[in-house]
Amino acid sequence: MHISVKTFRKIWKIYLPEIKFLTPRSDLCHICKEHRFNAKYWTIEEKEMKIREWNNHITWAMKEPEYYRY
């Protein structure tokens, strides 16, 4: 059975209004948001440690989809 996009959207709005598509950057995790938006407030001493932390986190996050692939 096939339905048009218009019909699909109508059904979606009626029966699933609470499910929405993510807006840009809303899919960032707590750690990424914290680092991205607070970086400008870090002291010089904090920057080196925080950048290392963030790089480790990003490396881990990039490997995560591989875990769920199979």
28-51 pLDDT per residue, tens = 788 888 888 888 898 988 988 988
Per-domain boundaries in the chain: 22-68
**pTM (2 d.p.):** 0.49
What b/e readout covers 38-47, taking b as 16+ CB neighbours within 10 angstroms? eeeeeeeeee
* 41 or 70, which is more confident: 41
Burial of 50 (0-12, 13-18, 19+ CB in 10 A): middle
Spatial separation of the C-alpha atoms in residues 70 and 64, rounded to whole Å: 12
53: which residues sit within 8 A by CB, 6+ positions away?
Answer: 35
